[in-house]
């Protein structure tokens, strides 16, 4: 019996190795830090950068969001190619929503 798995929607294209390298360099992080942020091994990032394995769009999106969350780079249009449609608004909004307590309503 053959099992069928539902296809997951792609969040965007897999970046070319040079694009991924530029993304990592623009954030000012090492390959090891990029691996930590993307929740993959250093070897995996090296394979992506070497062109041996394409970087999954979801992993690149996670890396981009982690870069913003860590304050390494502010949100902006650079996120658009790597973010899912639901997260692209962050690129145009300019800043992530506040995680702090809500301010009291003014009368």
Q: Is the pLDDT of residue 102 over 50?
A: no
The 10s digit of each residue's pLDDT in 39-53 is 999 999 999 999 999
57 closest CA partner among 14, 7, 9: 14
The crossing angle, in degrees rounded to 10, of helices 42-50 and 17-27 is 130
Kindly list the distances between the CA atom of residue 78 and the CA atoms of 24, 41, 46, in Å, as whole numbers in the listed order: 12, 24, 22
Measured CA to CA, the distance from residue 37 to residue 40 in angstroms comes to 8
> 70 by DSSP, 3-state: which?
coil
Percent of the chain at pLDDT above 90? Answer: 50
Mean pLDDT of 11-29: 89
In the block, residue with structure tokens 């990592």: 24
Structure confidence at residue 80 as a pLDDT band (50, 70, 90): confident
45 closest CA partner among 56, 31, 58, 57: 31
Mean pLDDT of 62-72: 92
DSSP structural state of residue 15: P
pTM for the model: 0.73
């Amino acid at each position: 019996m053959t099992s069928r798995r539902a296809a997951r929607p792609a969040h965007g294209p897999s970046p070319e190795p040079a694009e991924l390298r530029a993304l990592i360099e623009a954030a000012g992080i090492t390959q090891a830090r990029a691996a930590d942020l993307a929740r993959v091994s250093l070897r995996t990032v090296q394979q992506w950068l070497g062109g041996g394995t394409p970087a999954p769009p979801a992993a690149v999106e996670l890396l981009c969001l982690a870069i913003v969350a860590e304050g390494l780079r502010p949100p902006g249009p650079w996120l658009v190619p790597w973010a899912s449609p639901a997260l692209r608004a962050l690129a145009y909004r300019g800043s992530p929503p506040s995680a702090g307590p809500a301010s009291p309503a003014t009368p």
